[in-house]
Amino acid sequence: MTGSTHKATRCAIVPPYLLVRLARVDDPRLAAAAEAARRSLMRDTPIRDLRAAKHPSPPRPGVSGAAPVRGRLDRAVSDAGSLERLPGRLVRREGQPPGADPAVTEAWEGLGDTHSLFWNVFERDSIDDRGLTLEATVHYGRNYDNAFWDGERMVFGDGDGQVFNRFTSSVTVIGHELTHGVTQFTADLAYEGQSGAINESLSDVFGSLVEQHARGQSAAEAGWLIGEGLFTDQVQGVALRSLKAPGTAYNDDVLGKDPQPAHLSGYIETEDDNGGVHLNSGIPNRAFYLVATALGGNAWDTAGRIWFDTLTSGTLPRTVDFAGFARATSRAAVTRYGAGSREHDAVIAGWSEVGLGGGLGAGWGTRSASRPGSSPVAGRAFVDPGIRPE
C-alpha cells in the first residue's frame, strides 16, 4: 500500500480518560490545569476540521529539476502562536540556523531522530517512503495538554505547566506520533478496538526505538517509557506509559493509577477511547518488550525489524486482532530468520507470556491468518479509569 485511502484519524498521545480525570478536579490549586484539560478535550473532538488552513509542503532541498535523493531529511517547523489554526507561521526549514525557542529546537531534533531510525535502520524514506517533508507545528492553542498527528503533520501543545510540561520535550512522543503516519501509509489499521490498540502499540514501540536509537541504548539499557518528562514534578508518575511494565507508569491522587493491562486476562472491554486503544495497547507493548529483551543487543536490529516487516508486509487486515497480529509477527520472524530460530522462539515466548501464545507453537509460522475478530478474548468488565460521567 502506497498511501491511505481512508480519512486520517487524529491520533493524540494523551488518552481521553486521563484528561477527563484532570478536568473533573475540584481543587483551587489545580484550577488552571483542570480548565486546560477541559479546553484540550474540546479541541480533541473528532469533528473538528484541522485542515481549514492547509498549505503545500515546502519544496524538498536539492538541485532544481533533479530527482529527489532518497533518504534526504526534509523538515519544516511552524509556530501556531497559541492559536488553534494550522499550520501557523513557518519558522525553520532545512539549511536554516537554530533559533532560541526550545520547542522549535526539540521538535526539529525529534523529527530528525525519527527520520534517522526509519531511514538508517529500515531504509524507509520518510513516513511515506517517498521523501515526504516531516512537518510540525509548536505552540498550538493556549496551555493545550496534548500532541497529535492529524494525517499531515505533528502538532504540539505547551502543556498547562502544573500537570503537563511542553509536549516537544519527549522524543518518544514525536516518534510515536510520526509512526501513526507510517501506519497510515502502510497497514492503515482501523483506529478502534484491537486493531486500534495495535496501532497505538506500534507507535509506542517505534517511539521507544527512536529514543533508543538516538541515545545508542541497548534493550537492557533502555527505560521503555513513553512520554518520560511530560509530567511536572507535582505528579506521582514517570511517564504516560511503560512497555516494560504496563500499569505502572503513574499512580497519582489526581490522575489515578495507570490502567493499562499487561496480559490478555486483564483486557478491558469499553466503548470509550475508541474501544480502549490506549488501554489495551499495553498487552502488545509488553510482548514486544519481552521479545526485544530476550534477544538482547539493540532492539531495533532484530525485534524492531520483525515488527517493521509485519507493519509493512501489505498483508495485515485493517481490522486485525491481537491473535492475528501475533501470528503475523511469527510469520515475519520465520521469513527473515527461519522457523525454530532463536528469533522465532523469542516471538513465540513473548506472545505466550502475555496470553497470546495459542497457535504460535513450533512449526506454525506459515499458516494463513484467521479472520479478524476470530480470537477469543479472556477479558474482564470495564474498570472505570475516569472516563465515564459520575
Per DSSP, the residues of 246-292 read TT-SBEETTTEE----SSGGGEEP-SSHHHHHHHHTHHHHHHHHHHH
Co-location of 142 and 260 in the same domain: no
User: Which grid coordinates are listed for 51?
Assistant: 485542515
Shared domain check, 166 and 136? yes
C-alpha pair distances (Å), 289 with each of 212, 342, 369? 13, 16, 23
Q: What would the grid cell of residue 213 be? A: 536509537
Q: What percent of the chain has pLDDT over 70?
A: 84
Please indicate, yes or no, whether residues 129 and 201 belong to a single structural domain of this protein. no
DSSP string, 13-75: SS-HHHHHHHHT---GGGHHHHHHHHHHHHHT-TT--TTTT--PPPPPSSSTTSPPPTT---E
CATH number for 80: 3.10.170.10
Helices (H) and strands (E) in the chain, counts: 10, 12
Q: Is the per-residue pLDDT at 218 higher than 50? A: yes
User: What are the φ and ψ backbone dihedral angles of 203, each rounded to 5 degrees?
Assistant: -70, -40
Q: How would residue 45 be classed by pLDDT, with cut points 50, 70 and 90?
A: low
Rounded distance, CA 27 to CA 83, Å?
A: 27
pLDDT at 23 over 90: yes
Q: Which of 115, 176, 278, 344 is catalytic?
A: 278
**Integer Cα distance of 355 and 284 in angstroms:** 10
Find the distance separating the first CA and the last CA of the chain, reported in whole Å. Answer: 44
Tell me: do 372 and 338 sit in the same domain.
yes
Query: Same structural domain for residues 211 and 133?
Result: no
Asked if 156 and 173 sit in the same domain, the reply is yes
Mean per-residue pLDDT, 251-265: 97
The amino acid occupying position 319 is T
Mean pLDDT over residues 187-198, rounded? 97
| Residue 35 is among the residues annotated as catalytic for this protein | no
Same domain, residue pair 240 and 260: yes
Band of residue 375 on the pLDDT scale cut at 50, 70, 90 = very low
> Structure pTM?
0.88
pLDDT interval class at 43 (50, 70, 90)? confident
Does position 341 have pLDDT exceeding 70, yes or no? yes
Q: What is the pLDDT of residue 10?
A: 75
Question: Is 385 within a domain?
Answer: no
- The enclosing domain of 281 has a CATH number of 1.10.390.10
Mean pLDDT of the region 362-370:
37
Domain stop point among 155, 188, 221: 188
Decide if 357 is inside a domain.
Answer: yes
Question: Choosing from 106, 152, 177, 211, which is the catalytic residue?
Answer: 177
Based on the domain organization, do 222 and 133 belong to the same domain?
no
Domains contained in the chain, number: 2
Per-residue pLDDT, 237: 97
Q: Is the pLDDT of residue 367 over 60?
A: no
Q: Do 286 and 371 have their domain in common?
A: yes
CB neighbours (10 Å) of residue 100? 6
Answer yes or no: 176 catalytic.
no
Same domain, 105 and 248: no
- The confidence score (pLDDT) of residue 29 equals 87
Q: What is the structure's pLDDT at 385?
A: 41
The residue ranking higher by pLDDT, 370 or 281, is 281
Looking at the predicted structure, is the pLDDT value of residue 176 above 60? yes
**Are 236 and 261 within one domain?**
yes
Residue 236 belongs to a domain: yes
Asked if 24 contacts 187 with a C-beta cutoff of 8 angstroms, the reply is: no
Least confident of 218-227, 231-240, 258-267, 355-364: 355-364
Specify whether the CB–CB gap between 102 and 86 falls below 8 A.
no
- Round to whole Å and give the CA distance between 245 and 278: 15
Asked if the structure places residue 65 within a domain, the reply is no
62 in a domain, yes or no? no
pLDDT greater than 50 at residue 79:
yes
Q: What is the residue range of 226's domain?
A: 194-380
* Mean pLDDT, residues 96-103 taken together: 95
pLDDT digits (tens, 9 = 90+) for 142-171: 999 999 999 899 999 999 999 999 999 999
Same domain, 35 and 142: yes
Assess if residue 174 is contained within a domain.
Answer: yes
- For residues 263 and 181, is the Cβ–Cβ distance under 8 A? no
What pLDDT is attached to residue 359?
74
The pLDDT mean for the chain works out to 87
- What integer is the mean pLDDT of 186-194? 97
Whether residue 198 is predicted with pLDDT greater than 90 in this model: the reply is: yes
Domain assignment present for residue 179? The answer is yes
Rounded to the nearest 5°, which phi and psi values hold at 284?
A: -65, -25
Residue 231 has pLDDT above 60, yes or no: yes
Return d(Cα 2, Cα 129) in angstroms, integer: 8
pLDDT in the model for residue 8: 57
In a domain, 333, yes or no: yes
